[in-house]
Structure 1
Amino acid sequence: MLIADEVHHLGAPQHLGSLPEAIDLRLGLSATPNRWYDDEGTEELFSYFGDGIVFEYSLSEAIENGALCEYYYIPHIIELTPEEAEKYEALSTTIARLASRMNKDLGDADLQGNTTLKHALFKRARLIGTAREKLYKLQDLIQYQNSLNHTLVYCGDGSVEDELTGDTKRHVDATVELLRDDIGLRVNRFTARESQNEREDLLNQFENGDLQALVAIRCLDEGVDVPATQTAYILASSSNPRQFIQRRGRILRQYPGKQYAVIHDFIVAPPNRVRPELLDDTQFKTERNMIQKELERVQLFADSARNHPDADVQGIPTSSKSLKDLKKKYNLRQM
């Protein structure tokens, strides 16, 4: 019998050809079986393992049965600086122009081979992921934590500019410096630059409290358990559901003395000066598509949370009014 854990990886072209046909009994396991922007790979995978999902265990069931802990979910709307807003608008204009040449909406488009559009989307995603206001918001929110131990921070993979020196540094390093130098936490980064032995040591220090916080980019997305995590800040997230679903699974693991987890989600919306009613159809669809992907994550996280995202949690101010306004501006009230 073939049992494949994290089976979504096997849908990649380099793996599909290696799957043994001689084994008749096959079981694939995954929290995210559908491959992002790869319908063909998903279909091939489902066909090989039996053409369909035969059993599903939902997050709500896992929480109800005590397999995972309960959690509060708190989304925060982040504003771009004027300089960032200018770059964002220029990139959005480019994306809208390139998308207008395609016969389908950007959200459904096959980007394979369209390197110019992929590059523009990548640049805008990096801009959003490293928005300067996120670090200020993180610094503000830390003061509301009852305990600073077992804090996990997910960063973007881009760089930020130091306002005083003008030097650029990796977003993960700027976040570590903020938490260590400005707030005084015992913190370390957890990235691909650390060796396997170093990462194991960091996880042990995090669990026993020698380190209060870990700052990661993607190394804690999948396959690494950090059950002691009590508070998580998602400063940056891709639109790929696999990433944020896997992250949520890392955060909600049960741990002795852990009653619940708190997840803060940082959401960058189009600049306030962008008026949807003045956009042409392609520009509006481009902006709406980005917001819709962000709100899909909000909705998925909120569905199983102990709180509704527009409710106050532990005195922490939320962005409910901004979320409602955002849905109204882009005709997404149904979400």
Structure 2
Amino acid sequence: MALTLKHDRGTLVVWEVPDCIRDLFTWDARAQLWRTPGQNYRTVAEQLRAANVPYKDEAAEFGPLELRPSRDLKPYLHQVEALAAWKDAGRRGVVVLPTGAGKTYVAELAMRQTPRSCLICVPTIDLLHQWYSGLLAAFPDASVGLLGGGSRDRTPVLVSTYDSAAIHAEELAAKYALLVFDEAHHLPAAFTRVIAEMSLAPYRLGLTATPKRSDGKESDLEALIGPTVYQKAPSELMGGALADYKEVRVMVRLSATEQTRYDELIALRNDFLRMNYIRLGSIEGWTKFVQASGSVHGRRAMLAHREARGLAYGTDAKLRVLEEVLANHHGERSLIFTDDNATVYKVSREFLIPAITHQTPVKERHELLQKFKSGEYKTLVTSRVLNEGVDVPEASVAVVLSGTATEREHIQRLGRILRQAKGKKAVLYEVVTENTSEERASQQRRGEWNPERMSAPPDQVWEELNAPD
């Protein structure tokens, strides 16, 4: 009698285990059967076939899918290479391309050449609707649905937010043969990784501008999706798929009064960190600091930390630089990024510029972006909400007033202005405050920070390591 594979709540189960797959399964004494995570489905099937073990597959519910594209755009060379690399890797892996380089079209090509039921996961509602519209235009005859944002479809091609897909992971696990993870660096989070772990999908494609995460869990992407199979930096695509661009770093100084106050605050904070053996610069260190802020001295240190960051990020010298940049690029579509909402609203008041934060209602946010795209508004100021998931090809100037610590954030913000347009010359300004943790964070991201400084006295090291707000 042939071995039977069945699916049960995001796992693959059998009642007997041949030796060729025994190391993949664990005995479930309560259910009296053998069980393995759904993501091992492909490995189990391949090893059974290699060992010539007959089996009956009652686990997978996915089948072929007919996709008739309405358009036949000529792909860029890097898109052709990315697709070929993904196929050579067994249709599993992560493609790393900068924003604006056409990652979505790589996914469409992968879907056309892997015509099976497909689940696409995205991190935001904006991206949910962006993908939905794009797929309807690309495959008008396909049954495309949504999961999230009030929709709960069950179609052969389904676009879902990560949160909704995680909530329904068990139900979706056996229905989709191809998984596409947009902004794939979101997947390794504890809540969302179950989408990949439970799914039987033999084919998986991850798309991201940079896989790096603050918790280091980008290494989990290989197990969840597959290895990085193709990668290009913005500079490698400049002038072709992406607009020509340059980056300009502008250094500003705190006033004498601001610098004195900043140094006092950092000293107060670092005394507390040293006394409590806390090192910032990691999630664990920051978590300890937050927990310790429940005490009287801890609260004083946390308030000092926040005030110091506010001085570095919001010094008036940055506003003077911003005024000059906007004057030099008068009439050009410009995006201004800050690390915090307080600075967003300050810039908005000082320069009478429309602002978008996470507090902006959805309809108002949509209206502001539409007016920016049409040219009615030339400039927008925002915090982190436009880092990903918003298509603004008209923007050619970006000014980063604060928020320079991570490579991912920098690449995302650069990507907002790299969409190709005729004659477009994009420029990103990074405005950094000297002699503060912001300068050292910028140096560290650029690879200019000297690790030998880790041998410096504890006060100096603690001051130099950046921490989240």
TM-score, with structure 2 as normaliser? 0.50
Show CA shifts across 1:158-195 (max 9, x none): 5xxxxxxxxxxx32222123223xxxxxx311222322
Give the distance between the partners of 2:279 and 2:289, measured in 1 at CA: 14
Give the distance between the partners of 1:243 and 1:107, measured in 2 at CA: 16
**Residue among 240, 258, 264 paired with 2:429:** 264
Would you say the 8 A contact 2:278–2:288 is kept in 1?
no
Q: Which residue in 1 is equivalent to 2:189?
A: 12
Give the distance between the partners of 2:372 and 2:401, measured in 1 at CA: 20
Q: Which residue in 2 is equivalent to 1:53?
A: 228
Going from structure 1 to structure 2, the CA distance change for 1:109 and 1:7 (only over 3 Å counts) comes to closer
Higher relative contact order (CA 8 A, sep 6+): 1
Q: Counterpart of 1:295 in structure 2: which amino acid?
A: Q
Going from structure 1 to structure 2, the CA distance change for 1:99 and 1:45 (only over 3 Å counts) comes to farther
Bigger Cα displacement from structure 2, 100-109 vs 149-158: 100-109
Q: Which residue in 2 is equivalent to 1:133?
A: 317
Q: Which residue in 1 is equivalent to 2:326?
A: 142
**Residue among 203, 206, 213 paired with 2:369:** 203
Q: Counterpart of 1:113 in structure 2: which amino acid?
A: K
Give the distance between the partners of 1:198 and 1:104, measured in 2 at CA: 42
Asked which structure has the greater CA Rg, the reply is 2
Going from structure 1 to structure 2, the CA distance change for 1:265 and 1:106 (only over 3 Å counts) comes to same
Q: Which residue in 2 is equivalent to 1:151?
A: 334
Q: Which residue in 2 is equivalent to 1:192?
A: 358
Going from structure 1 to structure 2, the CA distance change for 1:45 and 1:298 (only over 3 Å counts) comes to closer
Matched, 1:26 2:204: yes
Aligned 1:63-82 pairs, distance under 5 A = 63-64=238-239, 66-82=240-256
Give the distance between the partners of 2:209 and 2:323, measured in 1 at CA: 32
Would you say the 8 A contact 1:149–1:211 is kept in 2?
no
Give the distance between the partners of 1:264 and 1:236, measured in 2 at CA: 11
- 1:269, CA displacement in angstroms? 1.4
Would you say the 8 A contact 1:126–1:156 is kept in 2?
no
| Greater percentage in strand | 2
- 1:79, CA displacement in angstroms? 1.1
Matched, 1:94 2:268: yes
Q: Which residue in 2 is equivalent to 1:217?
A: 383
Would you say the 8 A contact 1:6–1:31 is kept in 2?
yes
Show CA shifts across 1:221-240 (max 9, x none): 11101111122211111412
Q: Counterpart of 2:190 in structure 1: which amino acid?
A: P
- 1:105, CA displacement in angstroms? 6.7
Show CA shifts across 1:236-289 (max 9, x none): 11412221110101111123x442112211001117xxxxxxxxxxxxxxx6xx
Q: Secondary structure at 1:232's aligned position in 2? A: strand
- 1:101, CA displacement in angstroms? 5.6
Q: Secondary structure at 2:191's aligned position in 1? A: helix
- 1:3, CA displacement in angstroms? 1.1
Q: Which residue in 2 is equivalent to 1:324?
A: none
Would you say the 8 A contact 1:155–1:235 is kept in 2?
yes
Q: Which residue in 2 is equivalent to 1:323?
A: none
Q: Flag structure 2 segments of 5+ consecutive residues without an equivalent.
A: 1-177, 449-463, 465-469
Matched, 1:176 2:360: no
Would you say the 8 A contact 1:71–1:252 is kept in 2?
yes
Q: Secondary structure at 1:92's aligned position in 2? A: helix
Q: Which residue in 1 is equivalent to 2:414?
A: 248
Would you say the 8 A contact 2:399–2:428 is kept in 1?
yes
Would you say the 8 A contact 1:80–1:268 is kept in 2?
yes
Going from structure 1 to structure 2, the CA distance change for 1:151 and 1:291 (only over 3 Å counts) comes to closer
The number of residues matched between the two structures is: 261
Q: Counterpart of 1:49 in structure 2: which amino acid?
A: I
TM-score, with structure 1 as normaliser? 0.69
Q: Which residue in 2 is equivalent to 1:113?
A: 288
Going from structure 1 to structure 2, the CA distance change for 1:134 and 1:224 (only over 3 Å counts) comes to same
Would you say the 8 A contact 2:432–2:439 is kept in 1?
no
Going from structure 1 to structure 2, the CA distance change for 1:129 and 1:291 (only over 3 Å counts) comes to closer
Matched, 1:293 2:441: yes
Would you say the 8 A contact 2:404–2:442 is kept in 1?
no
Q: Secondary structure at 2:332's aligned position in 1? A: coil
Q: Which residue in 1 is equivalent to 2:64?
A: none
Give the distance between the partners of 1:106 and 1:113, measured in 2 at CA: 9
- 1:13, CA displacement in angstroms? 1.2
Q: Which residue in 2 is equivalent to 1:327?
A: none
Q: Flag structure 1 segments of 5+ consecutive residues without an equivalent.
A: 159-169, 181-186, 272-286, 301-329, 331-335
- 1:207, CA displacement in angstroms? 1.9
Going from structure 1 to structure 2, the CA distance change for 1:130 and 1:17 (only over 3 Å counts) comes to same
Q: What fraction of aligned residue pairs are identical, expressed as a percent?
A: 27
Q: Which residue in 1 is equivalent to 2:259?
A: 85
Give the distance between the partners of 1:28 and 1:232, measured in 2 at CA: 27
Give the distance between the partners of 1:59 and 1:205, measured in 2 at CA: 28
Give the distance between the partners of 2:288 and 2:278, measured in 1 at CA: 16
Would you say the 8 A contact 1:130–1:156 is kept in 2?
no
Show CA shifts across 1:265-322 (max 9, x none): 1001117xxxxxxxxxxxxxxx6xx54421244569xxxxxxxxxxxxxxxxxxxxxx
Going from structure 1 to structure 2, the CA distance change for 1:91 and 1:241 (only over 3 Å counts) comes to farther
Would you say the 8 A contact 2:337–2:402 is kept in 1?
yes
Give the distance between the partners of 1:216 and 1:62, measured in 2 at CA: 27
